[in-house]
């Protein structure tokens, strides 16, 4: 037997010297509770220290024996004192082992430790039990370690399943975010809202963890590609918008120049039509940048307002003149409507004089013209249709035809005037005047034949 230094205990497994006394068998200890399989016994279920006398002995020569359910084995040689000191020394070492096992149980039960690491530590400690230099219930420790290992395996499997479930849920979240980003990249046209949402997706993305590296990288590539696609589409849209705005600016600047050229025109009808056409072109030109567009519109409208203010001033003056003309024609009509057809020659002469004055007066307001002309034509018809003697029917028909043609041209003049076709109105009035002169000449010839 290899001995330790003088005064110390030797813990070798060497065979002890033969003893003259017969070696007693293992001392049966008191019955101990067996931990339930699948769940580690709590630390309080096992005393913090067991009686080393129940699980071993010390021979007179200092050989220390451990007694277990499978037999007994030497755990050391004690030369540092009496046998009780050996029990105390090796019992404390068992207490250390017991404390280590209890700590494992506590950490596993509370969930504060990694089940896989606890299992590994328990397995490693269990492997040391056959050679452990301790005095105590090693069998109980072995059973508890086995329970810890079993429970750790179950906990590790549950933890793994939970991690897989969490990983699947986190993967699904990122897949949904990637799909949403791809949808925005392909179809979005509300650029600001879509851009804000892509940034929100990125912020949410950064809070999601627990995926395996390969899956996470693949999903990130999808999101990143979607964001780049969106940025390209948005950039192309605004580049095209800039080109359109530049074209709209050039077109509207040209319209402003044309409006300013027309602002001093006094050709009221054609110029009014020209301004209406310019406004139609303005609306079709599109929009420039807001500040530029607003400035160009103020410039265009200023030119338009200058023209229409001048036209309105002339129109107001003309309207006053037309109202005065209408009043003068009303007075002439009163005279005409009172003509006596009993003296037909005198009535015709008076009507011709009234007609000369009528033509000399000029235009009246558009809404009054038709009614005034209708009343005058009624007087003319009244005198024309008055019974006469010795009148040539063919000559009378010609005179009536001339007067009808004159009336037709006068109506054409009114329509042209209403449409703003000043030149057409003037030409129609000239034709009407010519036909009326012929009608008057024919009527005068009829009077001379009577």
pLDDT digits (tens, 9 = 90+) for 81-115: 888 999 999 999 999 999 999 999 999 989 888 88
Do residues 304 and 410 both lie within one domain? no
Do residues 18 and 112 both lie within one domain? yes
For the stretch 329-379, pLDDT in tens is 899 889 888 888 778 788 888 888 888 888 888 888 888 888 888 988 888
Distance CA 219, CA 38 (A): 40
pLDDT > 70? residue 449: no
Neighbours of 117 (CB within 10 A): 13
Do residues 145 and 87 both lie within one domain? yes
Do residues 191 and 297 both lie within one domain? no
Q: Is residue 332 part of a domain?
A: no
Do residues 112 and 14 both lie within one domain? yes
Tokens of 433: 């005047």
Higher pLDDT, 211 or 179: 179
Q: Is residue 84 part of a domain?
A: yes
Residue 39 φ then ψ, to 5°: -150, 125
* pLDDT given at position 47: 44
Q: Among 162, 185, 204, give the residue marking a domain's end.
A: 162
Q: Among 115, 136, 162, give the residue marking a domain's end.
A: 162
Do residues 231 and 122 both lie within one domain? no
Handedness of CA 16, 19, 25, 31 (dihedral sign): negative
Give the count of domains, the chain: 4
Residue 238 φ then ψ, to 5°: -75, -30
Q: Is residue 25 part of a domain?
A: yes
Tokens of 89: 């020394």
Q: Is residue 2 part of a domain?
A: no
Q: Give helix 138-187 / helix 83-110 axis angle, nearest 10°.
A: 20
Tell me the whole-structure pTM to 2 decimals: 0.44
For the stretch 265-301, pLDDT in tens is 888 889 999 989 989 999 898 888 889 889 989 988 9
Distance CA 170, CA 193 (A): 25
Evaluate whether 72 touches 66 at the Cβ level (below 8 Å): yes
Q: Is residue 413 part of a domain?
A: yes
Q: What H or E segment, with its residue span, contains residue 64?
A: strand 63-68
Q: How confident is the model at residue 403 (pLDDT cuts 50, 70, 90)?
A: confident
Q: How confident is the model at residue 145 (pLDDT cuts 50, 70, 90)?
A: very high
Do residues 155 and 59 both lie within one domain? yes
pLDDT > 70? residue 388: no
Do residues 222 and 258 both lie within one domain? no
**HSE-up of residue 49 (Cα within 13 Å, Cβ side):** 12
pLDDT > 80? residue 179: yes
* pLDDT given at position 390: 53
Taking residues 162-173, report their average pLDDT: 90
Q: What H or E segment, with its residue span, contains residue 274?
A: helix 268-284
Distance CA 28, CA 68 (A): 9
Q: Is residue 318 part of a domain?
A: no
Higher pLDDT, 9 or 223: 223
Torsional class of 62: left (φ above 0), alpha (ψ -120 to 50), beta (otherwise)? left
For the stretch 224-273, pLDDT in tens is 999 999 999 999 998 988 888 899 989 988 989 999 888 888 888 899 99
Distance CA 148, CA 106 (A): 10
- Under DSSP, the state recorded for 287 is -
CA separation, residue 354 to residues 239, 357, 396, 425 (Å): 73, 5, 21, 23
First to last CA, the chain: 182
Do residues 292 and 368 both lie within one domain? no
Q: Is residue 394 part of a domain?
A: yes
Distance CA 159, CA 157 (A): 5
Distance CA 316, CA 54 (A): 131
Q: How confident is the model at residue 3 (pLDDT cuts 50, 70, 90)?
A: very low
The residue range of the domain holding 408 is 339-449
Nearest one of 85, 100, 79, 86 to 133, comparing CA atoms = 86
Q: Is residue 122 part of a domain?
A: yes
Do residues 137 and 172 both lie within one domain? no
pLDDT > 50? residue 9: no
Helices of type H across 338-392: 344-361, 369-384
Do residues 138 and 174 both lie within one domain? no
Do residues 129 and 221 both lie within one domain? no
* pLDDT given at position 160: 84
Q: How confident is the model at residue 37 (pLDDT cuts 50, 70, 90)?
A: very low
* % of the chain at pLDDT higher than 90: 38
* pLDDT given at position 446: 66
For the stretch 433-446, pLDDT in tens is 888 888 888 777 76
Q: Among 200, 221, 239, give the residue marking a domain's end.
A: 239
Q: What H or E segment, with its residue span, contains residue 301?
A: helix 290-337
């Amino acid at each position: 037997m290899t001995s330790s230094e003088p005064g110390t205990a030797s813990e070798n497994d060497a065979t002890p010297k033969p003893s003259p006394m017969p070696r007693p068998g293992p001392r049966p200890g008191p019955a101990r509770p067996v931990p339930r399989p699948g769940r580690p016994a709590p630390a309080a279920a096992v005393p913090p220290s067991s009686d080393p006398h129940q699980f071993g002995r010390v021979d007179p020569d200092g050989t220390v024996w451990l007694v277990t359910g499978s037999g007994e084995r030497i755990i050391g040689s004690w030369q540092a004192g009496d046998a009780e000191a050996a029990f105390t020394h090796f019992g404390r070492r068992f207490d250390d082992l017991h404390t280590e096992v209890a700590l494992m149980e506590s950490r596993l039960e509370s969930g504060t430790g990694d089940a896989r690491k606890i299992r590994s530590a328990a397995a490693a400690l269990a492997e040391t039990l056959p050679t452990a230099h301790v005095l105590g219930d090693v069998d109980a420790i072995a059973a508890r370690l086995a329970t810890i290992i079993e429970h750790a395996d179950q906990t590790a499997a549950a933890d793994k399943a939970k991690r897989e479930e969490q990983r699947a849920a986190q993967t699904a979240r990122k897949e949904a975010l990637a799909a949403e980003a791809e949808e925005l990249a392909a179809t979005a046209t509300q650029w600001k809202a879509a851009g804000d949402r892509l940034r929100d997706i990125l912020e949410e993305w950064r809070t999601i963890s627990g995926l395996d590296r390969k899956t996470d990288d693949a999903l990130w590539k999808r999101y990143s590609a979607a964001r780049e696609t969106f940025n390209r589409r948005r950039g192309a849209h605004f580049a095209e918008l800039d080109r359109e705005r530049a074209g709209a600016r050039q077109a509207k600047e040209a319209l402003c120049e044309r409006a300013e050229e027309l602002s001093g025109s006094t050709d009221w009808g054609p110029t009014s039509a020209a301004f209406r056409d310019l406004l139609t072109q303005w609306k079709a030109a599109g929009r420039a940048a807001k500040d530029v567009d607003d400035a160009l519109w103020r410039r265009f409208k200023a030119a338009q307002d200058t023209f229409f203010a001048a036209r309105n001033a002339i129109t107001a003056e003309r309207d006053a003149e037309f109202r005065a003309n209408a009043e003068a024609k009303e007075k002439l009509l009163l005279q005409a409507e009172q003509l006596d057809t009993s003296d037909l020659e005198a009535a015709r002469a008076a009507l011709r004089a009234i007609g000369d004055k009528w033509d000399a007066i000029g235009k009246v307001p558009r809404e009054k013209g038709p009614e005034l002309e209708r009343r005058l034509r009624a007087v003319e018809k009244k005198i024309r249709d008055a019974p006469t003697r010795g009148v040539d029917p063919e000559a009378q028909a010609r005179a009536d035809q001339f007067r009808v043609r004159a009336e037709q041209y006068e109506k054409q003049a009114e329509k042209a005037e209403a449409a703003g076709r000043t030149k057409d109105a003037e030409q129609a009035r000239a034709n009407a005047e010519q036909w009326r002169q012929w009608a008057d000449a024919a009527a005068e010839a009829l009077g001379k034949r009577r």
